[in-house]
Every structure is written in structure tokens, then in C-alpha cells.
Chain A
């Protein structure tokens, strides 16, 4: 028998709550110290979506919203592995995906960027990891877009991800970036990450995953929190 305790956030790689260069954090970051919580049943469990019936094209954003043709832009295939800090793969876990279209425009009603919407691209999808923790989905490479944080502010190309993992301590919402993007060094959202963690959010171009005459491949792995197993004392 053992007592499992999941590791806390590794604050050496995660961004802080308050990062004034990203202006929206100023009024939204908690200011008081977090209170340590001993993990109990609720923290050591979480929603399971294993039996959720994924739609046929949920993992193919180039097909799941077609109205009258193919979406515009560069087709890509993104794949990788979800594991924990102990290096164990996390099978059958849900990955939710959302992103801008190839012009840098989100379908979201609040997005007022003056770039065209693509009638054949929603920009939302999801997939499950397989028994070895691997996932794969097809999409269109998202475009960069301007935002209001400061003068001439542009977000680098990125894809948003939401993951659940083994329990609610594993919850992760993050963004995947692309190698060699010149906007990364100007992006306060990326730069909020401590230097030790930044590379972890940049996907790698993957020629082996690239599908000839079809789509460029990128690899991106996720690492969720691991755990310590402390043996119960023998009585």
C-alpha cells in the first residue's frame, strides 16, 4: 500500500500570476499567498472522458467545419506524447484544441481583427491519447494576429490546448508555438514563462511525421505533474 501525493506546480517553469508586461494580469492576478491544501479524494480524481463519443472529424480541423470547400492555409499534422514527470505515458486522456485560422482570425464573436474568416474553418477540435499516451491531429497552421496589449503587439503563431490528465491537479491549459517564430522574443505571454520553461512550449518540425504531398509535421509533447508514492508505515 502506498500513499500517493501529486507534485505541486513547478514554479521554476510555470509563469507567475502577475506579469505586468502582460497587462491583463494586473487586475486579475491573486495578490495573497496561496494556501497549501492537502490533496484529498477530490484532488486525486478528476473527470474521465474515455467513453465520450468523439465526432468522426474531431481530430481533423481541416475537415470538421467544411461548408463549401477546403480551408485555406498550410496543412499541418501535430503529434506527440502526453506523459507525467515520472516519464509515464498518460493513455486515454482528452486533449481539446482551439486556434486562429491561417489569416490570424478567430471565429470567436469578440475577435474584431480585420482579417478574413474562413467559411470552411472553425478552429476547434479534440482528440484522445492512445494506450501509449500518443496523440495526433490535423489542422491549418494558425496565423499571427495583433492584440491590444501595447503598441504594435502581435501574438506569435500558436495553438491552444486544454488537458485533464489523471486528476484535477494535472489540469493544464497551454499554448504551443512554432520553431523559429520571430515574434516569440516580443510576446509578453510567451516571455512570462521563466527562461527554463520557454523551450518546452516550442514544437519541433518533424520531417518523419510530415506526410508527402499533404502536410508538414510538428512534434509537441506534454508533461503533466508526476507523483510521489510514500509507503505506509508498517504497524
Chain B
């Protein structure tokens, strides 16, 4: 009787199947996931132009580097950005292996604030040496007021908040660096 009950519930309940474990993206993702960016002869699904800067006057550029625990720039990371403010759903992907300074660069538009939250971009970070990807967010330095009252930012220790805020570097330009370790280790989220 007990066995039957267990069997019945296990096929229906949460955890009926175990999650497939993550593995590293490795050093050789580029010709599969970012093929045109790396000049491979294979059509690329998505790149770093999340909007066209020609057609969008409000287009912004976000640029940055990914650093390891020694402070060295990581040249084989892949960054994905997703944003959804209820109006615009945009996705971008870029590897850090083609820019001369190993930066990632995205062109997008700043999302709108929803329900009084500060506007943000969702970021997923992949690289060789990471067995499972990391989630972080990009907030904007010119959104003082909304940042100050944002529930998520306020759940982050004060001294780490700045690791989530892209710094405005001129008209429509922002810089956002990702530190995997060290004093300024970027805040990564459990979502």
C-alpha cells in the first residue's frame, strides 16, 4: 500500500525528475554560439545589437570587462543580456574574445521602470572555469532616485551595491565591469 502511494505521488509531485546538471561552456563555444562575431561560417542567432542604434535615438551602449581573481581580464567569457519591462523584450549575446581589449559591448535601450522598481538588465555570465552560469543585474548610475528605493538593491549589502550599477560614461554610454572575485566581487544572485 505504501509503495503504491509513493509511486503515485512521485510521478506527479515536484522533483519527479532531477534537473540535468550544468557543465562549463568551455573555451570553444564561439563557433557554435557566437559564430559570426568570431568570423565562423555559420549563421548566428543573436548578437550584441539588441536594437539598431541608427533607428533608435535612445539607444545606449554598455561596455565592460570580466576580471578573474588576479584582476586579469577574461578573454573567453560569454555574456547574455535579457530585458523585459513589459513593453520591450530584448536579448543579446557576446563573447569577450574579439574586442582588442577583451571587452563585451551591447547596444540596447534602457528598460522602463516597472512598479517603482529601478530599471535593470538581467545578465547571465558563462566561461571556461565556471561549471554553472552566474546571474547578475545591471542597474544604471543615473537612476539615483529609483536605485535608492529599489527592493533588490536594498537587499544587497551597502558596500557591494556599486558592483551592480553601470556607470554613465557620457551620452548614452555606460560601463559595467564584472569581477568574479576580490574586493569588488560582483553580486551574483540565486534566482
Question: What residue in chain B is nearest A82 (Cβ atoms)?
Answer: B20
Q: Which residues of B contact A9 (CB under 8 A)?
A: 19, 22, 132, 190
* Binary per-residue interface labels of chain B (14-37) against chain A in the complex, 1 for a CB within 8 Å, 0 otherwise: 111111111111111111110100
Tell me, yes or no, whether A206 is within 8 Å of chain B by CB. no
Tell me, yes or no, whether A138 is within 8 Å of chain B by CB. no
Range class of the B interface residue count: 35 or more
Contact assessment for A14 and B185 in the assembled complex, using a CB-CB cutoff below 8 Å: no
Interface size on A, residues (CB 8 A): 86
Give the shortest distance, in Å, between A42 (CB) and chain B (any CB).
Answer: 5
Tell me, yes or no, whether A69 is within 8 Å of chain B by CB. no
- Give the contacts of A146-163 with B (CB-CB under 8 A): 160, 162
Contact assessment for B18 and A37 in the assembled complex, using a CB-CB cutoff below 8 Å: no
Q: How far, in angstroms, from A38 to B117 measured CA to CA in the complex?
A: 13
Question: What residue in chain A is nearest B15 (Cβ atoms)?
Answer: A85
Main secondary structure of the interface of B (DSSP, over half): loop
Given contacts A15-B132, A41-B114, A85-B17, contact A173 B89 (CB under 8 A): no
Given contacts A42-B122, A47-B89, contact A35 B22 (CB under 8 A): no
Q: Which residues of A contact B133 (CB under 8 A)?
A: 171, 173
Contact partner, A35, options B27, B35, B151, B156, Cβ 8 Å: B156
Q: Which residues of A contact B134 (CB under 8 A)?
A: 17, 30
Question: What residue in chain B is nearest A194 (Cβ atoms)?
Answer: B21
Q: How far, in angstroms, from A196 to B89 measured CA to CA in the complex?
A: 37
Contact assessment for A40 and B117 in the assembled complex, using a CB-CB cutoff below 8 Å: yes
Tell me, yes or no, whether A130 is within 8 Å of chain B by CB. no
* Binary per-residue interface labels of chain B (23-56) against chain A in the complex, 1 for a CB within 8 Å, 0 otherwise: 1111111111101001011110110000000000
Q: Which residues of A contact B122 (CB under 8 A)?
A: 42-43, 168
Binds B, one of A70-78, A178-186, A209-217, A219-227: A219-227
- Give the contacts of A93-135 with B (CB-CB under 8 A): 94, 96-98, 100, 106-111, 122-126
* Binary per-residue interface labels of chain B (115-146) against chain A in the complex, 1 for a CB within 8 Å, 0 otherwise: 00100101010111111111100000000000
Question: What residue in chain A is nearest B157 (Cβ atoms)?
Answer: A35
Give the shortest distance, in Å, between B9 (CB) and chain A (any CB).
Answer: 12
Given contacts A87-B17, A108-B28, contact A14 B132 (CB under 8 A): yes
Tell me, yes or no, whether A4 is within 8 Å of chain B by CB. no
Contact assessment for B45 and A174 in the assembled complex, using a CB-CB cutoff below 8 Å: no
Contact assessment for B23 and A7 in the assembled complex, using a CB-CB cutoff below 8 Å: no
Q: Which residues of A contact B152 (CB under 8 A)?
A: 37-38
Q: Which residues of B contact A96 (CB under 8 A)?
A: 32-33, 45
Give the shortest distance, in Å, between B122 (CB) and chain A (any CB).
Answer: 5
Q: How far, in angstroms, from A41 to B87 measured CA to CA in the complex?
A: 11
B-side residues, CB < 8 A to A, are: 11-12, 14-33, 35, 38, 40-43, 45-46, 68-70, 72, 74, 76, 80, 82-86, 89, 91, 97, 114, 117, 120, 122, 124, 126-135, 151-152, 155-156, 160, 180-181, 185-191
Subset of 25 A-B contacts with CB under 8 Å: A9-B22, A10-B18, A13-B19, A16-B131, A17-B131, A22-B24, A30-B185, A34-B189, A35-B188, A35-B189, A42-B83, A42-B84, A52-B45, A108-B31, A124-B40, A160-B29, A162-B33, A169-B191, A173-B24, A198-B21, A200-B21, A223-B17, A223-B20, A224-B20, A225-B19
Given contacts A27-B68, A106-B28, A110-B76, 5 further A-B contacts (CB under 8 A): A27-B69, A35-B190, A47-B89, A86-B16, A174-B22
